[in-house]
Amino acid sequence: MEITYRVRGGIPLVGDVAVGGSKNAALPLLAGSILAQGETVLRNVPKLRDTLAMLRILEFLGAETSFEEGTVRIRADKVKSQPIPAEYVSALRGSIVLIGPLLARFGVAEMAYPGGCVLGKRPVGAHVEAFEQLGAEDMSTDDTLHLQGTLQPGHVILPEFSVTATESLVLAAALLPGTTRIDLAAAEPHVQEVERFVQKMGAKVEGIGAHTVTVHGKKPLTAVEFAVTSDYLEAGVLILAALITRGKLRIHNVDREHLLSFLDSLRRFGAVWKYDAAEQTLFIDGELSSLQSMSVRTNVFPGFPTDLQAPMGVAMTQAKGVSRMFERLFEGRLAYLYELEKMGAHVEILNAHQALIIGPTPLKGRTVASNDIRAGAAMVLAALCAEGETTITDVRYIERGYDRLDEKLRGLGAKIERIEA
């Protein structure tokens, strides 16, 4: 089924909106349920293509699951480690976090290579190297990722700040009696959620949110109830939507600590916003904001999030002067700029990682494609501030990462229609 969005732009967004649960946190927490005895209950889980795909994998492995009104219940007592075919993992890069829990519990993890968005080279090498340092043997082939062996607690030095490798390691280490130290650990908010999750299950974690994390594992771990944190990436998109449509939004369930670099960039960008820490609410005033060109460099947390780079690139088209975007983490993440050019954006792509965006440029409604989850959100933003009507194709990418984004925007006054063909 092909899904498109039809958007009529030029309407300031006004009103209140609540940020949903974080997909990037929910996926490793779902995978971590394999480690626990009893019923794991996760609340505030977004109902997305990716979270549903992870539940299908867990059911394939033998778990009993239910999903109702944002609450997932999982019993993993009957789970068995068996090869996971491509039909389950080829469209879900996040399925790779299952490697750690399966290895820790069963001594073997085997699956077709996980897929997902095309964002340049995103190899599994960090995962393989990490678990080899804990005693696993790499038996992978050209078609299958296959690790096996009895893991032992120890010292792991990751070859890069890999979010999913860190999450998978933390999950595995939680079930290994003894102490495991992880250096060059990623520290993103969703990684911190995994660390808090295993700590609630009975492991002890030192260095939550740091780049060196120590996990004191235990066996067995106890199933727990846990609320998934709000999605700071969705919050960023909503903030930018208000900014570029010259609207006024009050956005609830925003954790400022997750967006420190992003919000500081907005301050330098000329955005007018105010945060209420007690209510976890951010008010953004696009009407009073005066956007000026700036330079952004993505980085590992707490730096500017790579997943907000494309939405920020759209905002730069509405700023006065020459802005510079430097994507430091992934290749292929500037492809959305070609779609923006179709809409009239003035862009100079310097190389695979750097581009100049010259503004302010009025955007015109066109038919554009959603190249990946975050580029899809960027196209929605471009459509909201463009003159005329925009059709966005390949919406399946957007709906892998954002829970009912079109509904939320309609509630704020946007003219956006979801069309199924």
Q: Are 26 and 192 in contact (CB under 8 A)?
A: no
CA distance 167 to 374: 21
Which tokens hold the place of 205? 């974690």
* Tokens 């066996």 -> residue: 219
CA distance 175 to 57: 21
CA distance 154 to 335: 41
Which tokens hold the place of 412? 């704020």
State the Rg of the chain over Cα: 21
Kindly list the strands in the beta sheet with 137-138, ordered across the sheet, starting from the edge strand earlier in the chain: 108-112, 144-148, 137-138
CA distance 81 to 31: 13
Which tokens hold the place of 182? 């992880």
Which tokens hold the place of 222? 């106890």
Helix (H, G, I), strand (E, B) or coil at 273: strand
CA distance 254 to 60: 35
Q: Are 249 and 281 in contact (CB under 8 A)?
A: no
* Tokens 């964002």 -> residue: 119
User: Is 385 an annotated catalytic residue?
Assistant: no
HSE at residue 298, side-chain half, CA atoms within 13 A, is 21
Burial 283-292 (b: 16+ CB within 10 A, else e): bbbbeebebe
Which of 17, 117, 343, 405 is the catalytic position? 117
Residue 133 DSSP one-character state? T
Residue type (1 letter), 165: A
**CA-to-CA separations, 295 to 7, 270, 348, 356, in angstroms, rounded:** 29, 13, 14, 9
CA distance 271 to 282: 12
Burial class (CB in 10 A: 0-12, 13-18, 19+), 267: exposed
Q: Are 182 and 215 in contact (CB under 8 A)?
A: yes
Enumerate the active-site residues: 117
